[in-house]
Each structure stands twice: as C-alpha cells, then as structure tokens.
Amino acid sequence: MTVSSELPISYTPDVVVVGGGATGVAAAMAAARNGADTLLIEQRGYLGGMGTAALVPAFCPYSDGEKPIIRGIGLDLLNEMKREAGDAFHERFKEQLDWVPIDVETLKRVYDQQVLESGAKILFHTVADQVLLEGDRISGLVISNKSGRSVVQAKLYIDASGDADLAALAGVPFQTGGENGELQPGTMCYLVTGADKARFDQFCQDSGQSKQLDKTIVEAQQNGDLPEGRKRVSGIAWITDAIAGFNFGHIFGIDGTSAEDLTYAAIEGRKLIDVQIKFLRKYVPGFENIHLVHSGDQIGIRETRRIAGDYTLVVDDFISMRTFEDDIARNAYFIDIHLANASSTMVIKHLPKGKSHGVPYRCMLPQGKSNLIVAGRSVSSDRPVQGSLRVMPNCFAMGQAAGTAAAMASVTGAGFREVNIPELQRKLVEQGAWLGENPGKVEAVTVASGHIEYDEESN
C-alpha cells in the first residue's frame, strides 16, 4: 500500500506554495490574484521568513541607485508596511527605497492580511516531509502538523523554502556552498530598546558611522571584549529613536539544512548577543542603557542549496549586465559573500549605478521535474551570483513570477516549461513588475572572463 492511499487527502488546490518567506508570500499572492486556488504552507505561526523569524533588521535595496527595479507585489508590501507601522514611521521612511527598517510585528500582520485578501489560503505550523512522485511530476506532498499527517494534491508546486527543501525531497540535483562545501556564516539578529539615536549620531558625526564604529569594534576585540572576526556591524536599523535592530557578527560552520547545526547556532548566537550587548553598553555612546527585547527565533541563514536548473545564472551574466529573452526580474544588488571563517575577508562586487541584469525564468526550473518551480535564494546560479540574488526584494520578484506562471499553467494543465514566456512577461508588467526598458528583447552584451575581482572589505 502506498503512502498516498494510507493517508487522507487534506487539500486539493491548483497551486501549493511551500515556505512563507518573502518568496512564498509573493508567489501565493500572485497565484491567487491570477485565479488559481492556492495554499501556502508555513512551518511557523507567521509569515516573513528571515525578515521576521530571523529578525533581519532592514530590507535590502529595491533600487539600482536611480530607480526602483523591484516593483509589483514586493514594492506594494514595503509601502504597506510603512503605512501600517504608524505615522511617525511612515513619515520618516515613506520616500526611502533602500535599507528600510523592518517593523517585524507590523510586517507579520501585513503579510497575513495581504495574502488572505489575495484569495490564497494559509496553513501554519505545518511541514512538508515527503514528496510523492509519478514520473517527472509531483503527485502529492505529505504534510505533518498537529492535525496529523495527510496528503496535499495540487496541480503545480512552488518551492519557496529558501533551502530548496521540496526540490531536494523530490530528488532534484543541487550544489551547496563553495568548492569545498564551505558556507557563508549565519547571524543571530536582535532588537534592543532604550537606545538614544541622537547620542549615537553625535558619536558618529565626525568620521561617519561605519568608520567610527569599526574603530570601536577593533578596540574591543583587542581588549578581549569581543571575539575576533569581522570588524564591522553588517547593519543597524533604527525602527524608532529608541529601538534598533542589529545584524552583527557571525556564527561559522553552520549548515542551514542541518537540525543539529541550527540547534548549535541558536545556542551560540544567543551567547554572542549577550557579549555584544555588553560591548555596546560599554563602548558605544547611545547604547549605555539598552535592553534586549527580542532575538531571532532562528539564526539568519545566507546560503544553503542551489538547484541544478535549465539555466545556471553565472558571474559573467552579472558582470555583463546580461538581458535574457525569458527575464522575469531584474537584479542590481551587489555580490555580497560573507566568507566562511573568522580570518577571511568579506567580498563585494557592485554594478554601476543605474544598471542591472536579468533573471531568466529558466533558472527557476529544476532539472527533471515538470510541475515544480523553485524561487528565491536557491535558484540555479553559481555561488557569487547567489550572494547577490539571495536578498528579500529579489525574492519578492522571483516569487511573483513563479506564482503567476503557476496560475497560467494551472489553467492549461501543462507543466512550467510549457508556460508562454511573452504572455508571462506581459502579465508581470501589467501587475507592476519591472523587467527593464525592453522586456523580452535581448540586448547585445560583451561577456567578461570567468574571473571576477572583488572590492574587499575587512572581516
């Protein structure tokens, strides 16, 4: 007897989305808005992924330095969070597109509301732990939750897990990390209250925040008050003049697909936060009286699996700012790789201001599976490009494309490879996405060599 015949069928949507982070939220909204009966499955009791569960303190840039290139659902959600966070927050950030602080509790509520208003259904506290296969198609997912185990049977499946969990369960080949399996470190982010932004700004005024704070971090490391490692804060986001979110420090050697590693990282991350709070109180004006109010439910993860797809987006595509016939998004975020140990330097590569490259639909199509699409940080790319694609604004854009494609395929009964690309691009543009000045038209490019030189930062 097969698993599917032993277990009850609990849901039969057109489209099921696994993972409720930025990718999954956009995918579910897009699929439902385009007429598909859609179910969004999330392991926690709220949506948002790294932005809410891991407390990543701010959204990465939506712009290329001149204009917004992440538009559509992603930009709408950003603006809705600004409005819902209150008059003071909205007034401070209403025109800002890049590095907007995340008001976590507001964002959770916005995601709930927007997904439900789209017509999609949400199922919290649920994991998909088995994939049922018939040839090159997924015939069902086995899900587990407090109600027991059951089967979800859909026409189309969207893997928005961030770790390609569904694809891995389905047997899709993938790569993990670098040539030796090394992975970017994780960070346990957190929120403090009792800060004094005016006093901190005065401290940073003469030489600029990063330089002044970098000097202080080096001093604390030399005094033994901070561990050796990266000599800068990845980000401080001020939600109010008294509440700040921190992306500070690394936990090395963490595989985000290992429960044992995630457990270790949670414990070590909380230890490191305590060390950092003591450092801030002792060394940094404006933080003398801070109190920790929230640490991430889990360590923030930057990379795990990258699927083998129909096309692998590579660093030459990034450097040459390539446009593809099947573009479904544009990306301008810099290559941002946090290296794997405390003695390594972080590597950065920026595109020119106002420039971007295309993200082709094919990099979301996993080899060997016809009714599965993978969106978000685990799409088919090489490791440097993954260091650019992985951020939340890009995930919104890829999720919107995946959800729209799923709705189209659900009508015809075809797989994802049979989706009409010009029609998909037309729908995305009509729904607010930006695919460049001439979507679908390939521009002449000069492909650089495979070697890339990075602007290096300190640890």
387, 184 contact by CB (below 8 A): yes
Q: Are residues 170 and 218 in the same domain?
A: no
Distance CA 258, CA 435 (A): 36
Look-up: residue for tokens 């509520």? 109
Q: Are residues 51 and 130 in the same domain?
A: yes
Other CB atoms within a 10 A radius of the CB of residue 163 amount to 21
Q: Are residues 290 and 314 in the same domain?
A: no
Q: Are residues 276 and 240 in the same domain?
A: yes
Look at residues 335, 22, 374, 364 and name the one whose alpha carbon lies nearest to residue 163: 374
Distance CA 398, CA 380 (A): 12
Distance of CA 19 to the CA centre of its chain: 11
Which of these three, 270, 295, 320, is where a domain ends? 295
pLDDT at position 60 over 90: yes
Look-up: residue for tokens 């999720």? 399
Distance CA 157, CA 23 (A): 13
Look-up: residue for tokens 């999954």? 24
Distance CA 21, CA 115 (A): 12
For the segment 272-289, the average pLDDT, to the nearest whole number, is: 97
Phi, psi of 237 (to 5 degrees): -120, 125
What's the pLDDT tens digit per position in 128-179? 999 999 999 999 999 999 999 999 999 999 999 999 999 999 999 999 988 8
Distance CA 203, CA 376 (A): 38
pLDDT-based confidence at residue 442 (cuts at 50, 70, 90): low
Q: Are residues 54 and 159 in the same domain?
A: yes
Write the CA distances from 268 to 190, 247, 340, integer angstroms.
14, 15, 16
Which of these three, 251, 279, 295, is where a domain ends? 295
List, in sequence order, every residue forming a beta bridge with 455; answer none if it has no partner: 348
Q: Are residues 200 and 174 in the same domain?
A: no
Q: Are residues 66 and 118 in the same domain?
A: yes
* 276-288 b/e (C-beta count within 10 Å ≥ 16 → b): bbebbeebbebbe
SS3 199: helix
Q: Are residues 266 and 152 in the same domain?
A: no
39, 152 contact by CB (below 8 A): yes
For the segment 325-341, the average pLDDT, to the nearest whole number, is: 87
How many domains does the chain divide into? 2
Distance CA 37, CA 41 (A): 13
Q: Are residues 127 and 56 in the same domain?
A: yes
Q: Are residues 442 and 332 in the same domain?
A: yes
pLDDT-based confidence at residue 459 (cuts at 50, 70, 90): very low
The encoded tokens of residue 148 equal 């027991």
pLDDT at position 125 over 90: yes
Which of these three, 276, 295, 314, is where a domain ends? 295
Write the CA distances from 170 to 132, 231, 305, integer angstroms.
8, 41, 14
Q: Are residues 11 and 120 in the same domain?
A: yes
* Containing structural domain, residue 167: 1-182+302-459
Q: Are residues 153 and 196 in the same domain?
A: no
231, 248 contact by CB (below 8 A): no
User: pTM for this one?
Assistant: 0.93
Give the pLDDT confidence score for residue 204 in this predicted structure. Answer: 86
- Which residues have C-beta within 8 Å of that of residue 407, sequence separation ≥ 6? 14, 15, 30, 31, 32, 33, 34, 35, 36
Residue 77 belongs to domain with CATH number: 3.50.50.60
Give the pLDDT confidence score for residue 5 in this predicted structure. Answer: 62
Look-up: residue for tokens 């659900």? 410
Distance CA 213, CA 233 (A): 8
Look at residues 323, 336, 313 and name the one whose alpha carbon lies nearest to residue 446: 323
List, in sequence order, every residue forming a beta bridge with 157; answer none if it has no partner: 16, 372
